[in-house]
């Protein structure tokens, strides 16, 4: 009924088949909803899976659309708390794939800047707005908020309207 995002079901099958052959148990969870495939990985497997996805001639996921985060605090199942989501695309095969890793509040995620250079700013944004650190990132600092900002605005326990402490005027 609704358009697919340019991927036939059998083509999705190929990606999953290749991934299962190569990594088997590293694929913690595979979901297909609305013709979109999501693969959940453990943080330590992320970089090698990404490199394989980019380099295998049947897959060639060479284009990283985005990296973003989700704070699962208010979802029914919320442990570990954060989810880092990667949308990758293959220009040649016209296929899209979503990868995810889950980490707790104080845990880091390995950076994929070594696989896709463009991950740099996206990961900085996730660090800035969610406070998820990326290990091995070349320049992990805030990107949208000021450098001296306290807190991470897209966390679910961060107030929508700023509490007074951010707007206190300096004593004259």
Partner 1 sequence: MTAARTMTLNLGPQHPSTHGVLRLVLELDGEVVIRCEPHIGYLHTGIEKGLESKRYQQGIPLTDRLDYLAPLSNNLVHVLAIEKALGIEVPERAQTIRVLMTELTRIKSHLVWLGTHAMDVGAMSVFLYCFREREQILDMYEAVSGQRLMSSYFRVGGLVADLPMGFEGQVQAFLATFPARLEEYEALLTQNPLWRQRTVGIGTIRATDAIAMGVSGPSLRACGVAYDVRRAAPYSGYERYQFDVPVGKVGDVYDRYTVRMAEMRQSHRIAAQALQHLSPGPINVADPKLIPPPRKLLKTSMEALIHHFKLYSEGFSVPAGEVYQAIESPKGELGVYLVSDGSNRPYRVHYRAPSFANLQALPRMVEGRLLADVIAVIGSLDIVLGEIDR
Give residues in contact with partner 1 (CB under 8 A).
Answer: 1-6, 33-34, 36, 38, 62-66, 68, 70-71, 74-75, 85, 87, 91, 94, 96, 98, 116-118, 120-122, 129, 142-146, 153-154, 158, 160
The residues, any chain, with a CB within 8 Å of residue 45's CB and separated by 6 or more, are 23, 26
Tell me which residue has tokens 């099958």.
13
Residues in the chain: 172
Please state the closest distance from residue 171 (CB atom) to partner 1, in A. 27
What is the helix (H) or strand (E) element at residue 97, kind and residue range?
strand 95-103
Nearer to partner 1, 20 or 94 (CB): 94
- C-beta of 4 vs 17, nearer to partner 1: 4
CB of 45 to partner 1, least distance (A): 21
Tell me the β-bridge partners of 146: none
CB 95 within 8 A of CB 12: yes
| Of residues 136, 130, 94, the one with CA closest to residue 112 | 136
State in angstroms the smallest separation of the CB of 56 from partner 1: 16
Residue (44 or 75) nearer to partner 1, CB: 75
């Amino acid at each position: 009924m609704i358009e697919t995002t340019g991927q036939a079901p059998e083509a999705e099958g190929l990606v999953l088949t290749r991934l299962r052959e190569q990594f088997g148990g590293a694929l913690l969870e595979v979901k297909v909803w609305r013709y979109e495939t999501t693969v959940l990985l453990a943080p330590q497997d992320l970089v090698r899976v990404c490199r394989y996805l980019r380099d295998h001639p049947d897959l060639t996921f060479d284009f990283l659309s985005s990296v973003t985060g989700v704070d699962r605090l208010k979802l029914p199942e919320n442990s570990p708390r954060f989810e880092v989501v990667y949308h990758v695309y293959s220009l040649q095969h016209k296929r899209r794939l979503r990868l995810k890793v889950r980490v707790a509040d104080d845990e880091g995620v390995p950076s994929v800047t070594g696989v896709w250079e463009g991950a740099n700013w996206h990961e900085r944004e996730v660090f800035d707005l969610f406070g998820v650190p990326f290990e091995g990132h070349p320049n992990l600092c805030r990107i949208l908020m000021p450098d001296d900002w306290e807190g991470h605005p897209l966390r679910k326990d961060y107030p929508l309207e700023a509490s007074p402490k951010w707007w206190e005027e300096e004593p004259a």
